Amino acid sequence: MSELEDLSSLEFISFLFSVNLFRYFLVAGLFFLFYYVIFRQRWVLKKIQPKFPKRKDYLREIMYSLISMGIFALIAWIVIRTPFSQFTLRYESIELYGWTYWGFSIILMILLHDTYFYWTHRAIHHPKIFRKIHAIHHKSQNPSPWAAFAFHPIEGIITAAVIVPISLFIPFHTSSLIIFLFFMIVYNAYGHLGYELYPKNFPETIIGKWINTSISHNQHHEKFNGNYGLYFLFWDRWMGTLRTDYNSAFKLKK
Question: Phi/psi of residue 204, each to 5°?
Answer: -90, -5
Q: How confident is the model at residue 250 (pLDDT cuts 50, 70, 90)?
A: confident
Assign 254 a pLDDT band (cuts: 50, 70, 90). low
Stretch 92-119: mean pLDDT, rounded?
97
Whole-number Å distance between alpha carbons of 2 and 10: 16
Kindly provide the b/e burial profile for residues 216-249, where b requires at least 16 CB atoms within 10 angstroms of the residue's own CB: bbbbbbeeeebbbbbbbbbbbeeeebbbeebeeb
Q: Element (H or E) spanning 173, and its range?
A: strand 172-173
CB atoms under 10 Å from CB of 23, counted, come to 18
Q: Is the pTM for the entire model greater than 0.85?
A: yes
